[in-house]
Every structure is written in structure tokens, then in C-alpha cells.
Amino acid sequence: MKGEILKLVKKVKSDEILSKSSSSFVLRVFGFLSSYLFTYIVTQYFGAETQGMFALCMATAAIFAVFPSLGFNINLVKTISSGSENENFKDLYLKIISLVTILSVILGISLFYFSEFISEQIFFNSKMTSLLKTTSFLILPTVFIAINGGVYRGLKRINIFTFISGSLGKFLLSSLFLFSVVLFFNVENQQFPLYCYLTTMWILALYSLFDISLTLFKLKGKNKYNIKNYIMESLPMLFSSSLFIFLGFIDTFMLGYFESEKIVGYYSVALKLSVLSSFFLASINAILSPVLSKLYKEKKMDVFQEKVQLTAKINFFLSGGITFVIMLFAPFFLNIYGEDFKTASTVLIILCFGQLVNSISGSVGNILNMTNNQTVFKNIILFSFILNVLLNLLLVIKYGMVGVATASVITIISWNLLSVYYVKKKLGVISFYNPFFKKTK
């Protein structure tokens, strides 16, 4: 095992793509720390109930924002990364931004109008009404950041993508704003965490629009993209990404419906801690997507497999180690946010197991999306979504957040195994690392 790790370190150092991504990795580390800092400030100064309501607002914003993006954020990665250096994407980008702006405004107005209904009929908490009205102004900047994140990844500007689309920009600035409010104004209004986050998102969205406009307006040449055809090409990615978002937040909504906001707060902290298990997978995916798209277009499947296996091996060792530590000391990590959060220890252990399976399965979602198999991935996620809803309904009433966590983990395992199987069958690519398999010469 020690020899395998040493070989892995040498391969990472010699791999041009991974060696150049070290700065992006550091930014992601600080991003994760910033997100935990923000959660810590919320739980310590505003309480578990406020954290729960904030989590519900984030889930609502994510779901409302996924539809206006129309899958462009994923398709742009493939389009830009596989295009020529001088290819003109300016007209395509402007049409996309115009279209998603109109759709985002419509969805934002809808959320604002129906906020009272959602609060009282779904969350059974009238205090959520004003929070959801504030959340409606979050839809547009969220979509802008998603679209611009796709452009940054396609252009291989990974560091700026990591800052703006990742946790660092969003939660570092939000933490600074929130801490200033608490320190200098001693405000305990439950809306303020959301206000700080909303302000940050608009700052990042406007900056990214300005930055990308400067970059794309320098390009010359003809626009070869028809927006109608591009929409049709992107829609399967919209379906898979929207279902993927639903998969990520259906547990939070189920708890919001059947349990109190305080329980949602406990669960959201456990979920945030469990995501550390797949931290390296998320970091690698941001770097790997444009690379895989280009290799697949150039039909360099041997190099394709080599990159996938290298990243799978990294995930296996690093994610496995982190998961073991979190599961072993689950009560300790939860106690950081407050003594009462330790009630979610079992939930954290269950969620960590699911994230570990997700991580060691490899970048299966990215592989399918970047190899024109987005429709297959959409079908896999659709099946998993239906399974998740059924399992949640069966388990949440009797077992609460433990039942919701169990349903999520079963779903995660299901879609990962199905994706791994299809990637191997269709592309001949092994997406996971098997430490017990020795390659013969």
C-alpha cells in the first residue's frame, strides 16, 4: 500500500494537468473552510433553527435556479474546451445570458408571489415567508454564476472558477459581512445570514459578467452556433442537472415538511461535514471535465483512461482517509457547532458512507456528460430521483433524519453503480480504482 501511494505521488507530480491545478486545490480548501466558518457563525449567533431555515432557502434557490440555466452551464464547458482557440463564442454567450435573464426573472417573481403558500403549506412556518421573498432575488445571480462558471471551466480558468462558483467567494465574503454585522451591530435578525449571502452572490455575479465580457469581446471570427440547436443539445443536460439538484435537496425538503427547522439545521450541518468525504472528487471534476471532453473528441481513449484512473486513485486514498476520520470522530466534529448538534452523529456516519461510495466510483457523471452520453445520465438520475422520493416517504416519518440519510445513501450508491457499469460497457473505461487488482504487463 505504501508503494502504491509513493507511485501515486510521482504520477501526480508528473501529470501536467494535476500539477498545475495545485493553486485551485488550495482555493477549494479555503472555500470549504469558509463554508464551515459561515455555518459556525450562523449556528453560534443565530441558532440551529436559523441554520435550518437558511438551508431550506438554499435548497429552494438551487431548485428554482436550475431551470433557467437550461443546461447551458454544462454544455458550455464541452463547447468551449473542445473548440479552437480563436473561435468566437461572443454571440452565443450574449444570447444565452439574455435568455437566462428573462427566465430567471420570471422564476424569481413566481417564487416571490408564492412564498407565503410555500411557507405555510409546505414548511408550515410563516416565518419562512419573508425569507423566501428574499430568496427570490437570489435566483438571477445564482444562474449568472452557474453560466459563467461553465465558461471559466471551458476556458480552463480554473482558479477564477473555483473562487466565484465554488465556496470560497460565496462564503468568505458572506462570513465577513455576517461577522461584521454580529460584531458591530449585535443584530440577531434571522434574515441577516441570507442578506449577507445575497449581497455576496450579486457581487460575484456582476464581477463575472464584466470579466467574461472583456474576455469574449476580444475574440474575432464568425459565430457558428444556432441558439435553437444549442438549446436542444443542452436540454438533456438540464434534465440530468435538475434531477441531480433535486437529489441533493430532496432530503432537506422532506425534513422541512415532516420535521422542525431545528432538525433541518442539525441535518444540514451533518450533510455539510459529510461532503468533506467527496471534497477531492469535486475538486478534480472541475479540472477534469474540459480535459476529458477534448480527449474524447480527439479519440485519445488510452490517455482518457489514464487520466480517469489517476484521478480515481487519488480519490480512493484521500477520500478514504478523510471519511475514516470523520466517521470515527463524528460527535467531536458536530460538537464544534454546539452540544445539541451531536444528536446528528449517526446521520453524519451514514452520509459519510454514501459520499465515500460517490467519491471512489470516480467522475462518472462528468464522463457521461463529456462523451455525449448525457441522455443516459439523465435516465439514471431520473430513476435515482424516483427511488429517493419513495425511500424518503417510507423512512422519514418513522426514522426522521436517520431515515432521510439512509434513503439518500441508498440512492447515491444506486446511481453511482449504474453509471460505473454503463461507462465500462459503453466506453470501455474503468472509472474507479481497485487496489486489489494488479495490471498485468
Residue ranges covered by each domain of the chain: 2-427
DSSP track, 261-307 = HHHHHHHHHHHHHHGGGGHHHHHHHHHHHHHHHHHHHTT-HHHHHHH
Higher-pLDDT residue of 403, 381: 403
Q: Which of 301, 365, 284, 359 is nearest to 24 (CA)?
A: 284
Segment among 161-165, 207-211, 317-321, 342-346 with least mean pLDDT:
317-321
The mean pLDDT value for 120-127 works out to 81
| pTM over 0.85, yes/no | no
Highest mean pLDDT, choosing among 17-21, 396-400, 431-435: 396-400
Q: Which amino acid is at 246?
A: F
Torsion over CA of 427, 428, 431 and 434, rounded to 10 degrees?
A: 170
Highest mean pLDDT, choosing among 86-90, 165-169, 408-412: 408-412
CB atoms near residue 345 (< 10 Å): 19
Q: Sorting pLDDT into bands at 50, 70 and 90, what band is 219?
A: low
What would the pLDDT profile of 413-423 be if each residue is shown by its tens digit?
Answer: 998 899 888 88
Look at residue 283 in the predicted model and tell me its pLDDT: 67
Q: Sorting pLDDT into bands at 50, 70 and 90, what band is 20?
A: low
422 vs 428: CA distance, rounded Å: 9
51 vs 273: CA distance, rounded Å: 14
For residues 290 and 75, the answer to whether their CB atoms sit within 8 Å is: no
The mean pLDDT value for 29-52 works out to 86
Q: Per the structure block, which three cell numbers stand in for 168?
A: 470560497
The fraction of the chain above a pLDDT of 70, given in percent, is: 86
348 vs 327: CA distance, rounded Å: 7
148 vs 215: CA distance, rounded Å: 12
The one-character DSSP state at 159 is H
Segment among 91-105, 188-202, 332-346, 368-382 with least mean pLDDT:
368-382
Higher-pLDDT residue of 300, 171: 171
Segment among 102-111, 160-169, 264-273, 276-285 with least mean pLDDT:
276-285
The one-character DSSP state at 437 is P
Report the half-sphere exposure of 256 (CA within 13 A, side-chain side): 26
What would the pLDDT profile of 248-268 be if each residue is shown by its tens digit?
Answer: 778 887 888 888 888 888 888
The mean pLDDT value for 301-309 works out to 81
389 vs 256: CA distance, rounded Å: 14
Look at residue 114 in the predicted model and tell me its pLDDT: 92
Is the predicted pLDDT of residue 9 greater than 60, yes or no?
no
Q: Per the structure block, which three cell numbers stand in for 156?
A: 480552463
Q: Sorting pLDDT into bands at 50, 70 and 90, what band is 125?
A: confident
Segment among 51-65, 139-153, 297-311 with least mean pLDDT:
297-311
The mean pLDDT value for 375-389 works out to 86
Is the predicted pLDDT of residue 8 greater than 50, yes or no?
no
Phi, psi dihedral angles at 205 (to 5 degrees)? -65, -45
DSSP track, 156-223 = T-HHHHHHHHSHHHHHHHHHHHHHHIIIII----TTHHHHHHHHHHHHHHHHHHHHHHHHHTT--S--
Q: Which amino acid is at 335?
A: N
Look at residue 440 in the predicted model and tell me its pLDDT: 41
Is the predicted pLDDT of residue 26 greater than 90, yes or no?
no
Look at residue 428 in the predicted model and tell me its pLDDT: 84
Q: Which of 364, 371, 369 is nearest to 414 (CA)?
A: 364
The fraction of the chain above a pLDDT of 90, given in percent, is: 17
Look at residue 182 in the predicted model and tell me its pLDDT: 81
For residues 250 and 60, the answer to whether their CB atoms sit within 8 Å is: no
Beta-carbon contacts of 58 under 8 Å, excluding residues fewer than 6 positions away, are: none
309 vs 288: CA distance, rounded Å: 12
Phi, psi dihedral angles at 236 (to 5 degrees)? -60, -35
What would the pLDDT profile of 139-180 be if each residue is shown by its tens digit?
Answer: 999 999 999 988 888 787 878 888 888 888 888 889 998 888
Q: Per the structure block, which three cell numbers stand in for 369?
A: 456528460
Look at residue 101 in the predicted model and tell me its pLDDT: 94
Q: Per the structure block, which three cell numbers stand in for 92?
A: 452565443
